[in-house]
Structure 1
Amino acid sequence: MTTASSKNRYARFIPSEEVGDVTQWRFGAVGSSHAQLPELEATTEAETEADAAARMAQEALEQAALQQASDDAYALGLQKGREQATAEWQRRMDEYVAGEGLEAARRLDAAVQALSASLDAMQQHMAQDVLQLACDIARQVVRQELRSNTDALRPVVGEALGMLVADGKPATVRLSPTDHVAVAAALREEFSASPVQWLVDAAVPPGGCQVEAAGAVVDGSLDKRWQRAIAPLGLASAWSSAGDGDGI
């Protein structure tokens, strides 16, 4: 039987079958204003760590974005700087080419032209010297041939007589005393059929002759023959000099 007193006690308590989830409450020290459940403290700490991690991730993303923006700006500035430097270099080069460069090119061209002309003159001078040297060598060879071959004058006399003697007209051949002794006999025999007079003339240099016929004279001296031989080469050189001795 339930009494009024028992009803009053029952009104202060909740039957266990009516109680749902229960959280243990832990009292703090007397007078303390902080009284929290352990689970609530763990949840708060986890949320704080998550917020910190989120903030760190956000800061990392922001730092990466800033670094990327800085790298992009640097690359763009570098490219612009290169383009400006190239354009400035080209501008200065164009100005130099149009001004000082053109003048320098003209001076260089003038120097090259002068050098080329100098080289051409030097080559011509060298060629002339080489030709003169060859002429001197040839002259020495001919002199040696005339000294060693006493019959070398016969073709010369024969050519001169062939130019002047015709239709049995008389001719006169003047030879040096030395050549007259050496070749006169052979020449008389060779031209026995022609009316030729053979004379000794000390004025005729050795190695040469003088042929006269019908008022015409052929100077067959070595000097004249030598001059005619080298004239096509553009040279003018005497056959003999004061130190040649016998004139050959």
Structure 2
Amino acid sequence: MSKIIKAAELKVLISEDSEAVIRPVLEPSEDRAEEAAFDASLREGTILEAKDIIEQAQAKAEDILNAAEAEVEELWERAKKELEELRVQAQSEGYQAGYETGYEEGQKQADAETTRLISFLKQTVETALQDRAAALARLEQDFLKLSLILAEKIVKKAIHEDPAWLRPVIEEAYSRLGAVNECTIRLNPDDYQVIKEEELRLQRTGTELVRFQPDPAVSPGGCIIEADTGTIDAGLEKRLGKLARHLMDVLYHE
């Protein structure tokens, strides 16, 4: 704006306080009055013209500035748009150029990672199954031992509370004998004192000879029947062993 104003000043710019006056060339015959009038008119017109020029220059400068600002803004927006397009294009070209190589490499990495994960999962599952099987085996063994301990305690408690509890055991074992002429029933000494021959109701036919004999080797609650045809072991340990085998069949075969 200041350059434009100075260009206008090159034509004429005279303030009312200025002592300088531009005078036209006058004929010597013109008088002083006319010169004075002309000088005043010229001064006034020059001042008005100078103000006009200044205002026009200022308006033009304002327009130029506004136009320049608008153009700069437009250029800036266009430049940003072009830069974005170039960036996208470069990215796209780079992606397309490296797509096949990148895809193949990525696929290899994905396959390797998948294989590793599958192997890890298989190993984890196998280890978990082995641990589970081992834990179940230990649990089953513990369950079996506990069952036998409980059974033994129950039997001993029943014998202690009611010694006659042994009678059905003897009768059941005796009933499994075949045809015999005689047999010997061995009992624990404590049980022998309780079980009397006359109290036994052996479901037998004929006149077999049955003898009862105390034997410390027989555990309380059990009996061993001997005959000429064979021996039947109905001892407590034997019966508990049979119970253990039955429990094992249930645990491992059902």
Shorter-chain TM range is 0.5 to 0.7
Q: State the aligned residue count.
A: 204
1:165–1:171: 8 Å Cα contact kept in structure 2? no
1:191 corresponds in structure 2 to 202
Q: 1:121: Cα distance to partner?
A: 1.5
What residue identity is the alignment partner of 1:28? V
Q: Secondary structure at the match of 2:224?
A: strand
What does 1:45-194 align with in structure 2 at a 5 Å threshold?
A: 45-73=54-82, 91=103, 94-164=107-177, 170-176=181-187, 177-188=189-200, 190-191=201-202, 194=205
- Quote the offset at 1:64 in angstroms: 1.5
Identical aligned pairs, as a percentage?
17
Find the counterpart in structure 1 of residue 231 from structure 2: 217
CA shift, 1:47, in A, is 2.3
Given that 1:204 and 1:221 are in contact with CA atoms closer than 8 Å, whether structure 2 keeps it comes out as no
Distance in 1 (alpha carbons) for counterparts of 2:226 and 2:75? 119
Counterpart amino acid of residue 175 in structure 1 = R
Q: 1:29 to 1:94 in 2, by over 3 A?
A: same
Q: Distance in 1 between matches of 2:158 and 2:68?
A: 114
Aligned-partner residue type, residue 56 of structure 2: E
Structure 1 unaligned runs (5+)?
1-25, 236-248
1:28 and 2:21 are equivalent in the alignment? yes
| CA deviation map 1:87-130 (0-9, x unaligned) | 99x85754432224532442343234223322332232123223
CA distance in 2 between counterparts of 1:217 and 1:48 reads 141
Partner of 1:241: none
- Alpha-carbon distance in 1 for matches of 2:72, 2:48: 36
Q: Secondary structure at the match of 1:191?
A: coil
Q: State the alpha-carbon separation in 2 of the partners of residues 76 and 109 from structure 1.
A: 50
Give 1:54 shift: 1.6
Equivalent residue of 1:211, what SS?
strand
Structure-2 separation of matches of 1:106 and 1:193:
70
- Classify the secondary structure of the residue corresponding to 2:215: coil
Aligned partner of residue 205 in structure 1, secondary structure: coil
* Cα separation, 1, equivalents of 2:108 and 2:139: 45
Q: TM-score, normalised by structure 1?
A: 0.64
* 1:50 Cα deviation from its structure 2 partner: 2.3
- Residue 82 and residue 130 in structure 1: after superposition, are their counterparts in 2 closer, same or farther (change >3 A)? farther
